[in-house]
Structure 1
Amino acid sequence: MRKATLKIGIVSAIFPPEPVVSAATSQDVAQCLRDRGHEVRVLTSFPNRPAGVLYRGYSRRPWLREKMNGIDVLHTWHLLSKKSTFFSRAAENLTFGVSSSLALALHDFDVVYVNTWPLFSQFLTTLAAAGRGIPLVVSVQDLYPESLALKGLIGARSWLARLMYRFDEFVVGRARFVIAVSEGMREYLISSRRLIPEKVINIPNWQDDGLFPAGLPRDGAFRKRHGIDRDKFVCMFAGSVTMSAGMELYLNTAALLRCRPEILLVIAGDGSRRKWMEQQISARRLHNIMVVYPLLPKDVSETQAAADVMMLSLTGNTAQNAAPSKLIAYLLSERPVVACVSKESTPARIISEAGAGFVVEPDRPEMLARAIVECAANKDKLGEMGRVGRRYAMERFSRSVLLPRLCDLIEKAGGSSAFHGEKTNVQKIA
Structure 2
Amino acid sequence: MKLLVVCQYYYPEPFRITDICETLVNRGHEITILTGLPNYPDGIVPNDYKKRKKRYEIINGVKVIRCFEYGRGKSKIGLFANYFSFSISGTIKALFLKEKFDAVFVNQLSPIMMSLPAIAYKYKFNIKILLYCLDLWPASLAAGGIKSGSFVHNIFLLISRWIYNSVDSILITSSMFNDYFINILNINSVKITHLPQYAEDIFIPKNQIHNKKNNYKYNFVFAGNIGEMQSVDTIIYAANELRNNENVIIHLVGDGSKLNDCKLLISELNLSNVRLHGRKAVEDMPKFYDMADAMLITLKSNEILSMTLPGKVQSYMAAGKPIIGAINGETKTIINEANCGMICDAEDYISLSKLILEFINSSNKLQMGLNAVEYYKSNYNKEMFIEKLENELLRLEE
Asked if these proteins are the same fold (TM beyond 0.5), I'd say yes
Q: How much does 1:198 deviate?
A: 6.7
Q: How much does 1:218 deviate?
A: 8.5
1:299 match: secondary structure: helix
Q: Which residue does 1:356 correspond to in 2? A: 340
Aligned length: 393
Quick one: distance in 1 between partners of 2:352 and 2:258?
20
Q: Which residue does 2:94 correspond to in 1? A: 104
Change (3 A) 1:96 1:32: same
Quick one: distance in 2 between partners of 1:58 and 1:32?
25
Quick one: distance in 1 between partners of 2:290 and 2:54?
40
Q: Letter of the aligned partner of 2:141 in structure 1?
A: L
Q: Letter of the aligned partner of 2:10 in structure 1?
A: F
Q: Is the 8 A contact 2:170 2:190 kept in 1?
A: no
| 1:139 maps to 2:132 | yes
Q: Which residue does 1:395 correspond to in 2? A: 378
Change (3 A) 1:404 1:302: same
Describe the superposition over 1:315-364 as per-residue Cα deviations: whole angstroms up to 9, x where unpaired: 1225322211111111112111112112xx11011101100111111111
Task: Output the aligned Cα RMSD.
Answer: 2.3
Describe the superposition over 1:241-264 as per-residue Cα deviations: whole angstroms up to 9, x where unpaired: 222111211221111111212111
2:243 match: secondary structure: coil
Q: Is the 8 A contact 1:150 1:316 kept in 2?
A: no
Given candidates 138, 141, 145, the residue that maps to 1:148 is 141
Describe the superposition over 1:166-189 as per-residue Cα deviations: whole angstroms up to 9, x where unpaired: 111111111111111122212431
Q: Which residue does 2:31 correspond to in 1? A: 40
Q: Which residue does 1:368 correspond to in 2? A: 352
Quick one: distance in 1 between partners of 2:89 and 2:209?
44
Q: Is the 8 A contact 2:212 2:293 kept in 1?
A: no
Q: Letter of the aligned partner of 1:266 in structure 2?
A: H
Q: How much does 1:230 deviate?
A: 7.0
Q: Tell me the TM-score normalised to structure 1 length.
A: 0.85
Which has the bigger relative contact order, CA under 8 A and spacing at least 6? 1
Given candidates 332, 336, 342, the residue that maps to 2:318 is 332
Quick one: distance in 2 between partners of 1:306 and 1:219?
10
Q: Is the 8 A contact 2:94 2:117 kept in 1?
A: no
Given candidates 164, 172, 176, the residue that maps to 1:184 is 176
Q: Which residue does 2:57 correspond to in 1? A: 66
Given candidates 251, 254, 257, the residue that maps to 1:272 is 257
Q: How much does 1:381 deviate?
A: 1.2
| 1:202 maps to 2:185 | no
1:200 match: secondary structure: strand
Q: How much does 1:37 deviate?
A: 4.0
Quick one: distance in 2 between partners of 1:306 and 1:268?
12
Q: Is the 8 A contact 1:123 1:168 kept in 2?
A: no
Describe the superposition over 1:350-406 as per-residue Cα deviations: whole angstroms up to 9, x where unpaired: 10110011111111111111111111122x211111111111012111111111211
| Structure 1 spans left out of the alignment, 5+ residues | 1-5, 221-228, 416-430
Q: Which residue does 2:246 correspond to in 1? A: 261
Quick one: distance in 2 between partners of 1:352 and 1:198?
32
Q: Which residue does 2:9 correspond to in 1? A: 14
Q: Letter of the aligned partner of 1:413 in structure 2?
A: L
Q: Letter of the aligned partner of 1:259 in structure 2?
A: N
Q: Tell me the TM-score normalised to structure 2 length.
A: 0.91
Describe the superposition over 1:208-241 as per-residue Cα deviations: whole angstroms up to 9, x where unpaired: 2453115367889xxxxxxxx8721112111112
Q: Which residue does 1:118 correspond to in 2? A: 111
| Structure 2 spans left out of the alignment, 5+ residues | none
Q: Which residue does 1:169 correspond to in 2? A: 161
Q: Is the 8 A contact 2:122 2:128 kept in 1?
A: yes
Q: How much does 1:28 deviate?
A: 3.3
Q: Is the 8 A contact 2:95 2:120 kept in 1?
A: no
Q: Which residue does 1:223 correspond to in 2? A: none
| 1:93 maps to 2:78 | no
